[in-house]
Structure 1
Amino acid sequence: MRVLLITGKGGVGKTTVSAATALLAADRGHRTLVMSTDPAHSLADAFAVELGDEPTDVVPGLLGQQIDAQRRLESHWGTVRDYLAELFDWGGAGGIAAEELVVFPGMDELFALAEVQDHVSSGKFDTIVVDCAPTAETLRLLSLPDVLGWYMQKLFPMERRVARVVRPVLSRVMSMPFPGDDVFQAGEGFYGRIEGVRRVLADPEVTSARLVMNLEKMVVAEARRTYTYLGLFGYAVDAAVVNRIIPDAVVDPYFKRWRELQSEHLATVEDAFSDLALLRLRLFDEEMVGVDKLRIVGEELYGDRDPTARLATNTPFRMFDSDDEVVLALRLPLAERGEVDVVRHHDEVYVTVGPYRRSLLLPDSLRRREVTGARLTEGELWIRFGVRRG
């Protein structure tokens, strides 16, 4: 089973790459689903076919799906939403204001991502290709399972116990609505789905992210940051796709400076992503829309490679002994020293890179050890744990 996450800055051609990858996988015998979690769906436009909220046949062996995230949200969040709407209405924020407050930013996309877990569990597909939203939204989305996991493990059980104690008493003296067990059960069910997604996406044997970029300074810079942030949250990246390279056959003087700039940026890409498979696509002289054109894209992109294979092997997370210490190594490619911060708090280590933070719950073998230092080395953050306490 393989899950391929195709992401990149808006406008770089990630939907075309997603569609071409899925089509080539199907042509080579893999039962394939390509699905879009981008609220601004364009997957159907790429294939020039009609796609809806349920998997739809594109060609033999390939189905496509443009997920209706709002529908998923209403289906799985209804009980919690109704309670929160009642609570906000009691507090004076009724009507439209309450409806807006009960849905947190990113939740609709999160439920769309949960669909991946359902398809993996179904066993109907060998390969699932996900046409993700642009990188900023994708990073926010992929970080949510960690944030939600911390809340569910640390605060949710306490809130449920408190609610059970105070609900019978306070309901007699005040009109404020208190959550019932059905609300907490719905919350636990939601967390279970998202945790399932997390397990699938964080397994490098199953899931790989592929970064699509053009040879432009801002695009390459964003791809570099994305590579680092995906490492922070434990997602494996196996390929960088460089799209719209001006072919050698183009000799028009108008493109001379563009070719020089692309050459400079390509050197940067080759250096920054040297541990990944580097896939290249030329700038075509027409729109590559429809099944026939996408087949050309797929063949040029992958050649003899299996598009579903793990194109580069790297371990997002590992632990090893070093003298009397234990090292926890987190893969952070391209991270710079000044943007990384590590803090130990009880049984957790908080790692911050730029605007993103991840909480790492320490295994039993490390909880009684002191953090003795942390440093970046060859694309990894090494956190050292010394002699056991007590």
Structure 2
Amino acid sequence: MDTKIFMYTGKGGVGKSSISSATAILSAKRKKTILISIDPAHSLSDIFDIKIGGEITEVSDNLSVIEFDGLKILEEKFPDIKNTLADKFRKIDFSKLTYTSSLDMPFIVNILSLIKILDIYEQGIYENIIVDCPASAATFAYLKYPEMLSWYLEKFFGVGKGIIRTLRPISKYKYKINLPDKESLDKVEIVYQRLLKLEKILKDSSIATVRLVGLCEKMVIEESKRDLAYLNLFDFNIDGFFVNRLLEDDESEFIKRRIEIQEKNLGEIAKIFYNIPIYKIKLMKKDMKSIDDLRDFADKLGVYEDLLTIKALESSHTYEKNGLGYLLKIRVDDVEDVEVSKTNSDINIRLNSVSRIISLPNLLIDTYIKSYELKDGFLIIYLEKSGELI
């Protein structure tokens, strides 16, 4: 089955849960669909007006819904985690450790939630998977984990795994240190391989895409602009910006004035999101209190016939030959605070408070950074080899 994944994110309170739910309603008219909430502040039960929890619940024909409960997922997986820790640290007593302990850390829950999404994808039951993500900052925490951990574990398993297995008998005999055994290493490697697979899927623009939801307000637009830059930096396909709760013409002077500001901001949005589809959604005149209200909202969204088609955009970073070297071009759009450095085969990039490491292809490992600049929405890094042509 050709399963697609649509992820919706944006600043808190902009209506991403309503829009992702409406997208799921539209999808279910033609395809078997599951709507997954990974937002800790779950709201799907309120939107569908039925109790939805950590088990898959069928809410209508072709449409199932689930809200991931991070603590429940951790509780289910905790015995394996505790056993692995016990293998690694044999001198520490983990017998009294419970899933509500200090191990209940966001990054562990996030990783387990991501792997659970991968499990559902691999089952091949659903043609469309719609993911209601948490607010932007938390979404980046989720989306960074596959690449970040894969990078660290690639370094570890590329060299360190063999060394640890070689040194383990020596360390135990000579230094009385118990290094991780084969079973522990294999458990970590399974997570590593699952994250690698998930990363490949989420960055495949024929399978998955990210969609931003925002409002036609200056502060929200600024945050959405940063979201776009960060998602581009991590090479995710972004194929839509949803401008939610747009005002319609009204006789009152207040609304007319607000619409003038709205039109000005829409012009700004058109400039920022010039290369991706922009979906304009009018303010609903009633609260969504039932699935019937949600269907009404979905009908309004349904005027966009391409909503359930992934639009593959050009890669966010490319290499270009340039005289003595290459240009590494990364789409970052409107960003001012940037730092770039190189460590061995890795380019280290920081945009504001977000960092990324891009591993260079073998051809460019021996290069150095001659300079870098922000130009026309791109971070351009000039790479050269000393004294010779590349």
1:105 shift after superposition: 3.1
1:91 shift after superposition: 6.1
Q: Which amino acid aligns with 2:121?
A: V
The alignment partner of 2:131 has SS state of strand
Q: Which amino acid aligns with 1:53?
A: G
1:145 and 1:195 in contact (8 A); partners too: yes
1:308 shift after superposition: 1.4
1:100 shift after superposition: 3.7
Structure-2 change in CA distance of 1:322 and 1:290 (3 Å): farther
1:130 shift after superposition: 0.4
Q: Does 1:373 align with 2:374?
A: no
Equivalent in the alignment of 1:137: 138
Structure-2 change in CA distance of 1:61 and 1:278 (3 Å): same
Equivalent in the alignment of 2:121: 120
Equivalent in the alignment of 2:219: 218
Q: Which amino acid aligns with 1:361?
A: S
Q: Which amino acid aligns with 1:21?
A: T
Query: Matches of 2:277 and 2:101 in 1, distance apart?
Result: 43
Q: Of the candidates 4, 26, 29, which is equivalent to residue 28 of structure 2? A: 26
Equivalent in the alignment of 1:267: 267
Query: Matches of 2:215 and 2:136 in 1, distance apart?
Result: 14
Equivalent in the alignment of 2:207: 206
Structure-2 change in CA distance of 1:280 and 1:95 (3 Å): same
Unaligned regions of 5+ residues in structure 2, if any?
none
Structure-2 change in CA distance of 1:221 and 1:161 (3 Å): same
Instruction: State the TM-score, normalized to the length of structure 1.
Output: 0.88
Equivalent in the alignment of 1:359: 357
Query: Matches of 2:44 and 2:363 in 1, distance apart?
Result: 46
State which drifts further: 376-385 or 33-42: 376-385
1:321 shift after superposition: 2.7
State which drifts further: 237-246 or 180-189: 180-189
1:6 shift after superposition: 0.3
Instruction: State the TM-score, normalized to the length of structure 2.
Output: 0.88
1:96 shift after superposition: 6.4
Query: Matches of 1:98 and 1:20 in 2, distance apart?
Result: 35
The alignment partner of 1:152 has SS state of helix
Deviations 1:179-236 (A, max 9, x none): 3322211111111221111111111222211111122232221111111001111111
The alignment partner of 2:106 has SS state of coil
Query: Matches of 1:100 and 1:257 in 2, distance apart?
Result: 53
The alignment partner of 1:211 has SS state of strand
1:334 shift after superposition: 2.2
Q: Does 1:287 align with 2:315?
A: no
1:145 shift after superposition: 1.7
Structure-2 change in CA distance of 1:373 and 1:170 (3 Å): closer
Equivalent in the alignment of 1:52: 53
Q: Does 1:277 align with 2:277?
A: yes
Equivalent in the alignment of 1:6: 8
Q: Does 1:306 align with 2:306?
A: yes
Query: Matches of 1:310 and 1:73 in 2, distance apart?
Result: 32
State which drifts further: 281-290 or 82-91: 82-91
Query: Matches of 2:335 and 2:324 in 1, distance apart?
Result: 27
1:166 shift after superposition: 5.1
Q: Does 1:247 align with 2:245?
A: no
1:74 shift after superposition: 4.0
For residues 166-205 of structure 1, the aligned pairs below 5 Å read 167-168=168-169, 171=172, 178-205=179-206
1:79 shift after superposition: 3.1
Query: Matches of 1:54 and 1:304 in 2, distance apart?
Result: 31
State which drifts further: 214-223 or 229-238: 214-223
Q: Does 1:383 align with 2:375?
A: no
State which drifts further: 69-78 or 90-99: 90-99
State which drifts further: 211-220 or 294-303: 294-303
The alignment partner of 2:286 has SS state of coil
2:245 and 2:282 in contact (8 A); partners too: yes
Equivalent in the alignment of 2:63: 62
1:18 and 1:131 in contact (8 A); partners too: yes
2:35 and 2:65 in contact (8 A); partners too: yes
Query: Matches of 1:87 and 1:118 in 2, distance apart?
Result: 27
Structure-2 change in CA distance of 1:86 and 1:165 (3 Å): closer
The alignment partner of 1:44 has SS state of helix
Structure-2 change in CA distance of 1:374 and 1:350 (3 Å): same
Structure-2 change in CA distance of 1:162 and 1:24 (3 Å): same
State which drifts further: 29-38 or 155-164: 155-164
Equivalent in the alignment of 2:331: 331
Structure-2 change in CA distance of 1:157 and 1:39 (3 Å): same
The alignment partner of 1:3 has SS state of strand
Query: Matches of 1:302 and 1:314 in 2, distance apart?
Result: 26
Deviations 1:235-288 (A, max 9, x none): 11111111111211x333454554344333333222211222111111112112
Structure-2 change in CA distance of 1:89 and 1:268 (3 Å): farther
CA-based RMSD:
2.9
Equivalent in the alignment of 1:350: 348
Query: Matches of 1:253 and 1:88 in 2, distance apart?
Result: 69
Query: Matches of 2:182 and 2:81 in 1, distance apart?
Result: 11
1:90 and 1:176 in contact (8 A); partners too: no
Structure-2 change in CA distance of 1:97 and 1:47 (3 Å): closer
Structure-2 change in CA distance of 1:174 and 1:105 (3 Å): farther
Q: Which amino acid aligns with 1:348?
A: D
Query: Matches of 1:142 and 1:186 in 2, distance apart?
Result: 22
Percent of residue pairs bearing the same amino acid type: 27
The alignment partner of 1:335 has SS state of coil
1:276 and 1:312 in contact (8 A); partners too: no
Q: Which amino acid aligns with 1:363?
A: P
